[in-house]
Chains A and B, each alone.
Chain A
Amino acid sequence: MTTRVVIAGYGMAGARLAEEIRRRDPAGERVAIVAIGDEPHPPYNRVLLSNVLAGAMSPASVRLQDEGWAAAHGVEVHRGREVVSIDREGRGVTLDDGTRIGYDVLVLATGARAWVPPVEGLTGDDGGLAPGVATFRTLDDCAAITAGTRGGVRVAVLGGGLLGLEAARGLAERGNAVTVVHPRRHLMERQLDDGAGEVLAQVLRGLGVRVLVNSRAARYLPGDGLKLDDGRLVEADLVVVAAGVRPQTAQASAAGLAVDGGVLVDDDLRTNDPLIHAIGDCARHPGTVPGLVQPAWEQAAALAALLTGTRSPYRGTKVVTRLKASGVDLASLGDVHAGPDDPRAEVLWLSEPARGRYAKLVVRDERVAGAIALGVPDAAATITQFYDRGLPVPPDRLALLLGRAMPYGEGGAPGGTDAAALPGTSVVCRCNAVSKNTLVAAWRSGARDLTALASATRATTGCGTCTDTVCGIARWLARADKEDAAGVAHAQ
């Protein structure tokens, strides 16, 4: 008996679900899949759109599946179609062309849509975007932005969150004059504290992006730009709206499913209708925040397991936000807003605006509770590992903050080290386990040049890369002997 699973939405979550099901049920013996996607393209990787915007990748290269994947894997895809209504009682959905598709199980993976703030002039009378205005969510948006910025123009990016900044950086890289207009006190206020937001703004300015915070757009004037509520004008030939997204839940609401900032789901990604699940940006699970791909993919895997007969509950995702913009290395995770007055947390931070670096660590119960790592890539990587794995943090918190929680030990290659300062027990020739002490002893026994030292100790006779160090030790000993002979006391 096959279960007929209808996936409403064939973006990053929906396509992943189809792949995860087919990984577990390659021949379609247990699950038949029908997917409905509203975009005309094969599914693509939204995470990489800023690369497309920056010109580093072609639209074709961000596809998630090859043209023939669905057919080869027995997945029936209705492309360029949308589910307009759900008939829970009759277990069927109706598409915008009137087609009705019955289901055993329905999965909502309808994602989110770009939200356009109520700024006068951004939308036309028909509710569509005005000429010279684009959102940044889809491949078509990318094409519109690219078309509108050919040859280098003035761009205003409305919104200084993750997406807005990635768009701004990509467009600046392509030679456009970019201004970010952000209504809050600092950039990425959900993921950054004040200090980090300020350093980030400074880094972006250094990369040629103009940043206006505490600035609200009041009106869009085609041809001129954005008029701000304080009267300033941001000149722009193109306005890119990146002011956030709203989950697509209209059909779910209309069908009577519980919705609160997303379709509410439990650990089986189940809505209040046991035959309907939701994953990705349209879903709301208490263990994660929407808008990022990792939770969507983990949900897809968990649901695929359930639908193919192995329950694997989804318990939420620890979210780590990474800004993907060339020249900026930023990670933010967990509770970043705790301050030094928090009685239950150890909070430490370091700010170095002159070099674009800001690092903050929040420790609770010996675990990483939150962190910001800007311009310190090693720290970002290391802290994330501690956070994800729930590992107890090292006693030396500062080392972790600086990305040196796994400090490199001594005993590195002694090449270039001052021969006098080298400890006697340190191994000079690793191939033959020859220490400085052994070399000194050989010297004292009459081995006074490289050849003699090599034949007495075998130092340098392996890979030979310690030759310089051995020569240095020989020179140091020769000098010491000369000084001794001259009656000059030499310093240790």
Chain B
Amino acid sequence: MRAATSTRLADADVGAVDTHCPYCALQCGMTLSPAGRASVRVRPRDPSAGGLCQKGWTSAALLGSPARLTTPLVRDGGTLRPASWDEALGLVARRIKEISAERGPDAVAVFGGGGLTNEKAYLLGKFARVALGTSQVDYNGRFCMSSAAAAAHRAFGLDRGLPFPLADLEGADAVLLAGANPAETMPPFLSHLRRAMDAGGLIVVDPRRTPTAERAALHLAPAPGTDLALALGILHAAVAGGRLDHAYVAERTTGFEETWRVAAAWWPERVERVTGVAAADQRRAAAMLSEAASAYVLTARGVEQHATGVDTAGAWINLALALGLPGRRGSGWGCLTGQGNGQGGREHGQKADQLPGYRKIDDPAARAHVARVWGIEPSALPGPGRSAFELLDALGTGGGPSALLVFGSNPAVSAPHSARVADRLAALDLLVVSDIVLSETARMADVVLPITQWAEEDGTLTNLEGRVLLRRRALAPPPGVRTDLEVLHDLAVLLGQPPERFPADPETVFTELRAASEGGPADYSGVTWDRLRAGERLHWPVPRRPEHGQPERDKPGHDKPEHDKPGHPGTPRLFLDRFAHPDGRARFAAVDHKGPAEPPDEEFPLYAITGRVLQHYQSGAQTRRVEELRAAVPEAYVEVHPDTARRAGLSDGAAAAVVGRRGRVVVPVRCVPSMRPDVVFLPFHFPGAQRANLVTNPALDPVSRMPEFKVCAVRLTPAGEREAQ
């Protein structure tokens, strides 16, 4: 299998290759022209559809980075030393067998990532359930998309980040962004909002005056953790202002009455008192959305990463439904996916409660279908396992797993209450990390496996609009490096699986994924790599047989190239005729405001909120090793209102300790006059004592199991000299 892969690889080394950026869910198209490993030229593929941000332009720097891992590492007497693949994998397989035999298959756990390709995510889930027989598999997407996904499922019966093509936003006159900061998280996205920005129709909901909020005609800055109340206030203002779309609500939805009972108690003046957002601005937001010919409501992590994340996303969906936006061409609700394959990564089985095709693991029909594709008995499939934080929290405890395999994630930095998570990782009998660099999690591992990165591999990703994209190999990986698929294949074989059950060739894996997803909500069965190579723009569902699931009012149109194509055209716009619930109607959710799980008090009087900076991605494991990005933002900081800093005895640049119930973060102060005086902001891309997640609260949403990353209570003090080291 590996020999065949290497041959194709050599072919790919010739000339320029069209692929996509390795970072966020926008997956900007880029062309790579390798002239040796150390010099790979990056160009935006289609500047008219958005170019590249600084992360994209510099993405090739990591290909030839000296930080790159090229040999497996094995812990030996407390330090990691180089080892052969045979030794490393042999050790992993032996320890897995021992631990599993001693404590049962659930003693071995798997942690994946939303940056993994569809093929990897799929094979990882299969590896966990079939080769390991464990139910203990989840991924960092739990920290990312799970609240929006659950809210969308509840409202529409189906979750696809944007249920319409991204380019539809270009026609919008009004766009409300709730808890989204795309000017930093996915900068080229803003090119799609130009019309709305020019028309004075951009509304941004964010406690901070972010670069995105600076572009807005209306910036609503609610107190952290009060977004749900704000959404209720705007809904109330819309109804009181006679803006309810009565016909749409009657024909296409259920549950408005019950939702209104809740929203009726949240008149804008009451909401103002809770959120700090002027009642007049709530009314203005309702008017802007309702009066626009084309309006969208979009949410992101700012409203979703809460212990009430599902309900909060649901409250914004309620607003969109009341105004009649979803399921109509030229308007809608959507969620901005974070990680590169945040969408595809949650559809194909690396989630504790799901099987490929976005199937539920506790659905007997889904189990039977997937078991058939995998050639096993349905009864051999484990049931649902622990969600991400619960999994990490249980590691090395009596009842929890004592071995963990990590792929495409750095939970030592990215999980909430990270000191606790680091303790749990340290308590494991076996920690295996597959990564391209020695991440903070890899440093703690017993075995580290060096793998290929994006420009060295083929695979598919599903972007924020549910479109399947082809990632293509532009150059050969360094000697000694394997792909994640090869690692899974090798380990499966060592664990006694038949080799053909875990193919290492990505296109072969995709073919199997198509069969496994067939008939599921996220049906990829009609997608082939040949169609993608030919440039087709395929949004799922794409059933294998064109007569199935073809939406009536969304026949192939301008979204497709003109050449002949026999397959199902895909589904750029969902819900035009009906929503995915059995009755075809969308559901309002009667959600009420509760407030943050850990409100400020006398001891911890400030809210800490967390987020991103433009130059870094996720835990920063990649971007902190790109010199240009590191030079631009070398370390973490805390943004504070100057008055708040002064009262804490701090000035700009001074070392501050941000102290919460679970830990303290030591970072320099950045005085920002636009901050609310009761809020401090921490970027979360940095390690060690600068880890924002040392203070974040692992309170979980009851439905999505999303931790409350976005708000916790802290106090601000000057850092002692010891801490400032």
Contact = CB atoms under 8 A, between A and B. Distances in A.
Interface of A: 45, 47-48, 51, 56-57, 61-66, 294, 320, 322, 324, 329, 377-378, 380-382, 384-385, 388-389, 391-392, 394-395, 405-409, 411-413, 430-433, 458, 460-465
B240 interface: yes
Given A48-B267, A389-B678, A463-B188, A66 B215 contact: no
A461 B52 contact: yes
Contacts of A432: 53-54, 57
B269 A462 contact: no
Given A57-B240, A431-B54, A463-B189, 16 more contacts: A62-B264, A324-B269, A329-B278, A329-B279, A377-B278, A377-B279, A380-B279, A385-B276, A409-B209, A413-B215, A431-B614, A433-B54, A458-B52, A458-B54, A462-B50, A463-B53
Contact of A462 (B51, B265, B272, B279): B51
B673 A409 contact: yes
Interface string B426-440: 000000000000000
Nearest to A60: B257
Contact of B273 (A47, A51, A320, A377): A320
12 contacts: A48-B264, A48-B267, A56-B240, A56-B241, A382-B276, A384-B272, A391-B678, A409-B209, A409-B674, A431-B187, A461-B47, A465-B194
Contacts of A57: 239-240
Contacts of A461: 44, 47, 51-52, 57
Given A377-B279, A382-B276, A385-B223, A45 B53 contact: no
The 5 closest A-B pairs by CB, nearest first: A463-B190, A431-B187, A377-B280, A461-B51, A322-B269
Interface of B: 44, 47, 50-54, 57, 183-184, 187-191, 194, 197, 209, 211, 214-215, 221, 223, 239-242, 257-258, 260-261, 264-265, 267, 269-270, 272-273, 276-281, 614-615, 632, 641, 643, 647, 672-678
- Which residue among B184, B189, B215, B615 has the maximum number of chain A CB atoms within 10 Å of its CB? B215
A463 B50 contact: yes
Nearest to B676: A406
Main secondary structure of the interface of B (DSSP, over half): helix
Contacts of A322: 269, 272, 279
Contacts of A412: 214
A389 B53 CA distance: 40
Given A61-B260, A462-B52, A433 B221 contact: no
A140 B430 CA distance: 72
Contacts of A407: 673-674
A246 B50 CA distance: 65
A433 B615 contact: yes
Given A463-B188, A463-B190, A384 B276 contact: yes
A452 to B, nearest CB: 15
Contacts of A64: 261, 264-265
Contacts of A294: 270, 273
Contacts of A408: 209, 214, 673-674
A389 B280 CA distance: 21
B613 to A, nearest CB: 10
B57 A430 contact: no
B643 A394 contact: yes
A176 to B, nearest CB: 19
B677 A406 contact: yes
B44 A409 contact: no
Nearest to B50: A463
A462 B264 CA distance: 43
B273 A433 contact: no
Contacts of B280: 329, 377
Contacts of B214: 408, 411-413
A294 B273 CA distance: 11
Contacts of A380: 272, 278-279
Contacts of B677: 391, 394, 405-406
Q: Main secondary structure on chain A at its contact with chain B?
A: loop
Given A66-B261, A458-B57, A464 B279 contact: no
Nearest to B28: A462
Contacts of A320: 273
A320 to B, nearest CB: 6
A237 to B, nearest CB: 27
A42 B139 CA distance: 48
A51 B283 CA distance: 14
B658 to A, nearest CB: 18
A383 B643 CA distance: 16
A388 B273 contact: yes
Contacts of B643: 392, 394-395
A462 B191 CA distance: 8
Q: Which of B221, B273, B676 has the most A CB atoms < 10 Å from its CB?
A: B273
Nearest to B615: A433
Given A57-B240, A406-B221, A409-B209, A431 B276 contact: no
A385 B600 CA distance: 14
B142 to A, nearest CB: 29
Nearest to B272: A381
B487 to A, nearest CB: 35
A66 B257 contact: yes
Contacts of B184: 430
A385 B258 CA distance: 30
Given A329-B280, A380-B278, A464 B50 contact: yes
B267 A381 contact: no
A240 to B, nearest CB: 21
A385 to B, nearest CB: 4
Contacts of B269: 322, 324
A406 B632 CA distance: 27
Contacts of B265: 45, 64
Contacts of B647: 392
Contact of A430 (B183, B189, B223, B267): B183
Contact of B242 (A47, A56, A381, A409): A56
Contacts of A433: 54, 614-615, 632
Contacts of B51: 431, 460-464
A294 B269 CA distance: 11
Nearest to A16: B265
